Amino acid sequence: MTTTPATSLRISQHYDRVRQQSVYLCTPLETEDYTVQPTEDVSPPKWHLGHSTWFFENFILAEHAPGYRHFDERLNWFFNSYYESQGPRILRSRRGNMTRPTLQVILDYRRHVDAAMQELLEKDDETVRILTTLGLHHEQQHQELLLTDIKYILGSNPLYPVYRQGEMEKATSVAHTFLSIAGGQYTIGHSGPGFCWDNELSRHDVLVEDFGIGSRLVTNGEYRAFMEDGGYERFELWQMEGIAWARELEIKAPLYWYPQGGDWKHYTLNGGLADIDPHLPVTHISWYEADAYARWAGARLATEFEWEIACRQLEPEVPRRGNWVERKDFHPTPARNADDHQLLGHCWEWTNSAYLPYPRYPRPEGALGEYNGKFMVNQMVLRGGSCATPVSHIRPTYRNFFQTDKRWQFTGIRLATDR
Amino acid sequence: MTTTPATSLRISQHYDRVRQQSVYLCTPLETEDYTVQPTEDVSPPKWHLGHSTWFFENFILAEHAPGYRHFDERLNWFFNSYYESQGPRILRSRRGNMTRPTLQVILDYRRHVDAAMQELLEKDDETVRILTTLGLHHEQQHQELLLTDIKYILGSNPLYPVYRQGEMEKATSVAHTFLSIAGGQYTIGHSGPGFCWDNELSRHDVLVEDFGIGSRLVTNGEYRAFMEDGGYERFELWQMEGIAWARELEIKAPLYWYPQGGDWKHYTLNGGLADIDPHLPVTHISWYEADAYARWAGARLATEFEWEIACRQLEPEVPRRGNWVERKDFHPTPARNADDHQLLGHCWEWTNSAYLPYPRYPRPEGALGEYNGKFMVNQMVLRGGSCATPVSHIRPTYRNFFQTDKRWQFTGIRLATDR
Amino acid sequence: MTTTPATSLRISQHYDRVRQQSVYLCTPLETEDYTVQPTEDVSPPKWHLGHSTWFFENFILAEHAPGYRHFDERLNWFFNSYYESQGPRILRSRRGNMTRPTLQVILDYRRHVDAAMQELLEKDDETVRILTTLGLHHEQQHQELLLTDIKYILGSNPLYPVYRQGEMEKATSVAHTFLSIAGGQYTIGHSGPGFCWDNELSRHDVLVEDFGIGSRLVTNGEYRAFMEDGGYERFELWQMEGIAWARELEIKAPLYWYPQGGDWKHYTLNGGLADIDPHLPVTHISWYEADAYARWAGARLATEFEWEIACRQLEPEVPRRGNWVERKDFHPTPARNADDHQLLGHCWEWTNSAYLPYPRYPRPEGALGEYNGKFMVNQMVLRGGSCATPVSHIRPTYRNFFQTDKRWQFTGIRLATDR
Amino acid sequence: MTTTPATSLRISQHYDRVRQQSVYLCTPLETEDYTVQPTEDVSPPKWHLGHSTWFFENFILAEHAPGYRHFDERLNWFFNSYYESQGPRILRSRRGNMTRPTLQVILDYRRHVDAAMQELLEKDDETVRILTTLGLHHEQQHQELLLTDIKYILGSNPLYPVYRQGEMEKATSVAHTFLSIAGGQYTIGHSGPGFCWDNELSRHDVLVEDFGIGSRLVTNGEYRAFMEDGGYERFELWQMEGIAWARELEIKAPLYWYPQGGDWKHYTLNGGLADIDPHLPVTHISWYEADAYARWAGARLATEFEWEIACRQLEPEVPRRGNWVERKDFHPTPARNADDHQLLGHCWEWTNSAYLPYPRYPRPEGALGEYNGKFMVNQMVLRGGSCATPVSHIRPTYRNFFQTDKRWQFTGIRLATDR
């Protein structure tokens, strides 16, 4: 699943920074916030802190650190997520019932594992370095989940507590156009020295036809026009499965939009319950909604190949957006001008590609083969990375994937058209 | 629902003691333990602390304390349990998702309400005194639930944390016999000056036939013999609905009994995962199991009338068992000799009576009519009080009631026979 | 479960008449109507024809007819209803998927068994005679179910086919009053030479207080006034479980009442979709609805003891209503005058008594112990018999029982009051 | 959705033949068999007969036959399948509760519509001809469903009735090899004068890499080796969603395989419960099972593009297999020799392609846009046609699609490999 680690930091220093970041993300929380699981997809923050630690203990220390003493072997049951090869584990839906180990114990667990990891990293073993890089990427995926899960925990509480106070960037109207991309034969998938996941391989060629790609993300104001045009009732705009989902759950707006006195407000991490800026990208929508919106707009979603091709042409350099650790917006930012295409680091953009293996997909043996390879059915690919995604997870070839009804990630809509 | 308050303490002093007891019961908990709801019947401890406070604020202070300032009006939604008359409220099943208000805020809420209550009680108003007595009885019911809910939270966690370390009383074998009670006309229901719930009224006469009542509760050892005799598989011992329940949920033992290395252990509040003493009363069983056990034993459950009649004859004085606040067993204690009938304060004893109104049942108007009167269908009566029941809730006429599948209370089995 | 057979016919002649009646009841059906199970409670008519036949084959012929040759041993699996002692059987909810054996095969099965039964009855064995009487009573219970299940099958089809064309009796307004019944000690339960079920025993004494009993059944017009007074929304009238049921299923009227152009119509067996006569008894209501209606009317439901006592006083002779085979109304008939109390043969009247064993209940050993004795939890008693009940099942001591949400029987409401 | 009708018959003659075929397929049924719906996917045969008739009445006669008199307008509610644009309709899961209209009425309905259609076809209107062609293709899809639904109805009945007696072809062992197909740029999708569905368009180019394709379908014997090698328990062979499905439903073998005395038998339409020939293709497996089997075999499923390319190279002529009406096997036939690749007309072969629109997919306006276009999510493509597929539905470009858990079609496994 890995290629050569791409970090320019010494690995032990990088290890420290990434590990501290997970704890830092939780600092605004009350102890109570760490424990609950209001819906099956959302894990308790303290579970994330424990699970990412277990990953290092179980896959690196237990295998590669001679004489390593487990912090507490009983924790395997709590913190194994879904690795069948790693023994029995708690039902996913019951993570939120486990008040013990407490947060304090888990923080002790982190210190115990971190100390052992630093000692091991001293030895400068290549296998350990590769596995550690993998573990840190894994931890960063959980940092994104920490933010989205915290948002769900706080945002479904009628007190709407603010996570970290911040200003929302003021937005102005920027026209939406379709940019033409020439069809032809393109190469898809990761190459080069940096890290990538197994599912970004094998690099291979595809043919695409000429297509147009939306110049920016769809905004709250545009999405609201869809709502006001009866978008959620007009069956002809939807996949049958999609409108059945919306009807069953009585869905009439994006997640976190709440009716207030005849208008809508939405919950944000940095402002609590807040007015909805019509120029900001719409987010927290399902694939079903993205697909219906696109049909309403007379367009369609891009395939993941179209998206990757467009991204390479329109975003020749992957933006860094400053030091991510310091980011305080926790919300997709607006397009600032006609050349701000918002392809990387704003929303995870639903594509119209199913999550399936690339040709010659190198499914790994053993536990790591369970990482990406056993989810390749009935999910759709998302591209681009969101405002909650660590910078090193933002690249044109990164394939995120979720079921079509999921809304708690910072998901968004990019339109495309035939040409 | 109330008659004259029976307390000999000044009411304000009594108020303080009862209110402090709720907080005291939670002192062994970690903050995380206060928040979760591992099954719908179990409420988060901090919810109990908030709800019992809301009861005083909403039904007494808001009505009877001029100029009372609510602590935070938004808390009504969180802490209204099921009173339709008191406005919208959280779905019961979602109490465990609410990390806010935090424990600290709820403790502030308690102090705010307690101060206002003490000020109000100074005025010595009779209505307030009656309602306060009611509120304190309500709070004591939640003290029992606090213990049983804490047991569920800790006892379903594979770390099996001890709640409060304590010794389990050593038990010896005491023979089980049937004591004869003469049939005839008896008066049932509460009388006298003390407090009772509305459902203990109206006092009325019933006819019973001669019957035998078990001299003590059924023990773990006896119940285990039933299990080892194929009790859970022998359909002829069960109600059809009961065996369907056991099959569907794969129930093969009382709640909190866990198989360990070919034997059974059980979780206890004062000892964590512990050996099962065969001479202690069996507890945490459903009505279905109690009914099947009785049939296996060639006996039956008593009706609630038989139970009340037997109790009056066999337990002429309601035992006090010392200062309840100091009790550390949190487990049914054994029968110590042939005259220890264990009728009061050991287990809630399932009867074979449905929970229905007595003749001339005085269902109150308004919110208090929702207290006991709207649950009078598809539940069975339990009598006697358990090791977790506050002393003032232990009396021969007290009618507890639960659905036939519930096991998280300290429930037990008393046999009866025709004569 | 049986006492001496009460029939004055020679048993073989009685056997023929009862058996023919089952087939006769189905004659208006199309073949398709015999096969389906639109809801779990409703069995396919051909299943009833097979099951009642299996009862004779399995419990009488197989045991008492030497050399009896089974029609087809594979049918046991299809036609065993719930007798655990009689081997594996089809899941109840899947009866409607079984297109084979076809109706023709089942009618052959009936002839095969009937011939063998007649041959066996020739021998005039007492055990056989007692079991046959039991089997015929069992068959008559299924005749009532045939009618109610046919009503469900036809009445939930938007073509609303008529079962057997008939006239609905014209009704007039008859005042509702409460008749006083003196309290005291009464004897309850069956006595005498006729047949009764085990659950009508043991005969025993009860005490009741003075009470009033409604002079007739509640009418459609009265029930409609409850509906129009917001009865289904006013939580204070309901058991909590009841209003949750009504909300979940969006119940706003009795079963078979359909809104039509601003008004209500109802489906009837003899008239299809028809106008609702306000003077006819309301029927097809759940216990929850009966209980809420009674509270709305300032009254309550009677206990089963009050009902039995009132019935003995008000209906000294059990009415026969002509030859039941010829009845064509298939609908509760109206009260004709102030002395027409409608206690027997109109509606099954919900009581406020749970279905529990009488003192010294003689639960039989073996399969027959599964007949009534394993349903004695979470059901309520109904008394009186309905327009669909065979005459020999109409008597003051007969205890019918159903869960509180069931509506497909001809159920009705009788009010009672304290005095 | 249509191009020029490809039939060489006069359309009215073709209409007759296709319509008669639907009725002919049902002739072995008993009336009872026509009515039930043992699982939601399976519709009652009489529903298919009505629905395909409604299609002509609703989309052709009502629009294009001036003065057409509906047979009975109430039937729209019964026979509209899922067309939101065509008004309210019965819940899909309740089709099996509708005993009326009876089979006889539906056959009358067919005659009524057929007469009107023949009259309309006389006028030789082009739009009518195009729509009629479409309607006949629609009817043929339902002919395949008739066979698979009948198989489910009969095959889940423990009497295992034979549908039409027939001989199963004797099979011998034929080696499985991988045939090499060269990668490159290929054109995908329908072209030419014949009929195709909208989802086979637009014709477009794709790139594929070199690959190997299985020389024949996977056999029962091979699949059984997978089962005996612990295939259903070895999580590393499965998608996570797949093994969760198998565990939840306790699936351990293909549909219709039943354990019998230590061995397996399977239900077949032409032989009832029969021995399993190890050399016949395995059928009635889900995508999950096909995917797991392929991984076990060290191979993978083909993409739908690979399949189409291989089919064009290996099956230059679409086989006709005699007059389909006369076919009596109703079971996939064995590979007869090394050159019998079984690509067309044996099993629907699961591919590893999600069912998504082709580039420039021409989703039609109106009701016909609901035909294929609203199912394009969370389903997988199947190719090749089965033993139950009408000949005119067997072509290399035909895209069938089902959810990944479906097994009641004649589905099978074709392996592929990277080269």
Q: What is the pLDDT of residues B260-273, one digit of tens each?
A: 989 999 999 999 99
- In chain C, what residues touch D103 (CB-CB under 8 Å)? 32
For tokens 């230059």, what's the residue? D316
Q: Across all residues in chain A, what is the average pLDDT? A: 93
Q: Per the CB < 8 Å rule, is B377 touching C82? A: no
In which domain, by residue range, is D283 found?
178-418
- Give A26-40 pLDDT, tens digit per residue: 999 999 999 999 999
Calculate how close chain B gets to A77, using CA atoms only, in Å: 9
* A32 contacts B100? CB cut-off 8 A: yes
Band of pLDDT at residue C316, cut at 50, 70 and 90: confident
| Residue range C370-387, pLDDT digits in tens | 888 999 999 999 999 999
Token pair in block for residue D72: 């009975």
Report the CATH number that the domain containing residue B360 is assigned in CATH.
Answer: 3.90.1580.10
Whether the per-residue pLDDT at B5 is higher than 70: the answer is no
Query: Do the domain assignments include residue B411?
Result: yes
Cα B311 from Cα B397, distance rounded (Å): 9
Give the number of domains in chain A: 2
Sort out which chain B residues have CB atoms less than 8 A from C209's CB and list them.
204, 359-360
User: Could you report the per-residue pLDDT of C193-237, keeping only the tens digit for each?
Assistant: 889 999 999 999 999 999 999 999 999 999 999 999 999 999 999
Q: Please indicate whether, in this complex, the C-beta atoms of B378 and C206 are within 8 angstroms of each other.
A: no
- Looking at beta carbons, which residues of chain D come within 8 Å of C35? 32, 35-36, 99
Cβ-based neighbours of B244, under 8 Å, separated by 6 or more: none
Whether C1 is covered by a domain: the verdict is no
Same domain, C196 and C259: yes
Among candidates B245, B197, B269, which has minimal Cα distance to B403?
A: B245
Among the ranges given (A2-16, B84-98, B295-309, D299-313), the one the predictor scored with the smallest mean pLDDT = A2-16
> D312, exposed or middle or buried, with CB in 10 Å at 0-12, 13-18, 19+?
middle
Q: State the nearest Cα–Cα gap between C99 and chain D, in angstroms.
A: 5
Instruction: Compute the nearest-CA separation of C145 from chain D (Å).
Output: 18
Are residues D99 and C46, on separate chains, in Cβ contact within 8 Å?
no
Least CB-CB distance to D36: which of C30, C96, C156?
Answer: C96
Mean pLDDT of the B144-161 span: 97
The helix or strand, by DSSP H or E, that contains position B352, with its residue range, turns out to be strand B348-354
Chain C: give the shortest CA distance to residue B130, in Å.
23
Q: What is the rounded radius of gyration, in angstroms, for the C-alpha atoms of chain B?
A: 21
pLDDT tens sequence across C33-46: 999 999 999 999 99
Cα–Cα dist D295/D236, whole Å: 9
pLDDT recorded at residue C56: 98
Q: Are D183 and D145 in a shared domain?
A: no
CB contact C46 to D (< 8 Å): yes
CA distance D113 to chain A (A): 28
Between chains, do D352 and A357 touch, taking CB under 8 Å as contact? yes
How many angstroms away from the CA of D52 is the closest CA of chain C?
A: 20
Average pLDDT of every residue of chain D: 93
Mean pLDDT, residues D1-30: 81
A83 and A130 inside one domain: yes
Angle between helices D103-122 and D126-155 (to 10 degrees): 160
Q: In whole angstroms, give the CA distance from residue D309 to residue D182.
A: 10
Q: Do chains C and A touch (3 or more CB pairs under 8 A)?
A: no
Verify that D182 and D146 share a domain, yes or no: no
User: In sequence order, what are the beta bridge partners of C349?
Assistant: C383, C412
Report whether pLDDT(A337) > 70: yes
Does residue A207 share a domain with residue A89? Answer: no
Residue C94 shares a structural domain with residue C26: yes
Same-domain pairing of D251 and D393 = yes
**Is residue B383 in some structural domain?**
yes
Q: Answer yes or no: do C113 and C214 share one domain.
A: no
Q: Which segments of A249-286 does DSSP mark as H helices, in order?
A: none
Instruction: Name the minimum distance, in Å, from the CA of A105 to any CA of chain B.
Output: 11
* Nearest CB neighbour to D77, from listed C31, C96, C158: C158
The answer to whether position C280 is within a domain reads yes
Sign of CA dihedral B263, B267, B271, B276: negative
* Shared-domain flag, residues C93 and C195: no
Cβ contacts of B77 on chain A, cutoff 8 Å:
158
> Token pair 């003659």 is at which residue?
D13
Cα–Cα distances in angstroms (integers) from residue C250 to residues A319, C156, C188, C247, C255, in the given order: 54, 16, 39, 5, 12
Q: Note whether residue B90 is domain-resident.
A: yes
Residue-level pLDDT at B318: 66
Q: What angle do CA A239, D370, D376 make, to 5 degrees?
A: 40
Residue ranges in B60-198 assigned as alpha helix (H):
62-64, 75-79, 103-122, 126-155
Residues of B in contact with C238 (CB under 8 A): 374
- SS3 percent helix, strand, coil of chain D, rounded to 5, is 40, 15, 45
User: Is residue C208 domain-shared with residue C108, that is, in the same domain?
Assistant: no
D391 vs B110, more confident: B110
Q: Say yes or no: C84 contacts chain B, CB-CB below 8 A.
A: yes
Predicted confidence (pLDDT) at residue C8 exceeds the cutoff of 70:
no
| CB < 8 Å to C38, chain D | 94, 97
Q: What is the mean pLDDT of chain B?
A: 93
Both structure tokens of A163: 């996570």
Q: Which of A31, A99, A107 to mutate to test the interface with B (most CBs of B within 10 A)?
A: A99
C357 touches chain B (CB under 8 A): yes
Q: Domain of A71: which CATH number? A: 1.20.120
Interface test with C, best of D73, D89, D94, D97 (most C CBs within 10 A): D97
Helices D45-56 and D126-155 pack at an angle, to 10 degrees, of 170
Who among B204, B240, B356 is closest to C209 (CB)? B204
D359–A82: do the CB atoms touch at under 8 Å? no
Is residue A50 assigned to a domain?
A: yes
Q: Are residues D183 and D142 in the same domain?
A: no
pLDDT score for C179: 98
Considering the domain boundaries, does residue A168 fall inside one? Answer: no
Q: DSSP H helical segments within D168-268, as ranges?
A: 220-228, 240-248
B122, B12 Cβ separation under 8 angstroms: yes
Greatest extent of chain B over all pairs of C-alpha atoms, in Å: 66
Tell whether B354 is within 8 A of chain C (Cβ): yes
* Interface contacts B/C by beta carbons within 8 Å: 78
Confidence category of residue B319, pLDDT binned at 50, 70, 90: low
B210 found inside a domain: yes
Q: Which residue of B has its CA nearest to C302?
A: B359
Cα separation of D264 and C163, whole Å? 46
pLDDT tens readout for residues A169-179: 788 999 999 99
Residues in C closer than 8 angstroms to B287, CB to CB, are 377
- Contact residues, chain C, for B230 at CB < 8 Å: none
Interface test with C, best of B377, B381, B401, B404 (most C CBs within 10 A): B377
Q: Does D99 touch chain C (CB under 8 A)?
A: yes
What are the two backbone dihedrals, phi and then psi, of residue A259, each rounded to the nearest 5 degrees?
-70, 135
Cβ atoms of B55 and B135 closer than 8 Å: yes
Inter-chain residue contact A35 with B38, CB threshold 8 Å: no
CA distance B157 to B161: 8
Shared-domain flag, residues B107 and B229? no
Mutation choice for A interface testing from B73, B100, B154, B163 by most A CBs within 10 A: B100
CA angle D356, D247, A382 (to 5 degrees): 30
Please name the residues between 136 and 165 in chain D that touch chain C, using a CB distance below 8 Å.
Answer: 153-154, 156-159, 161
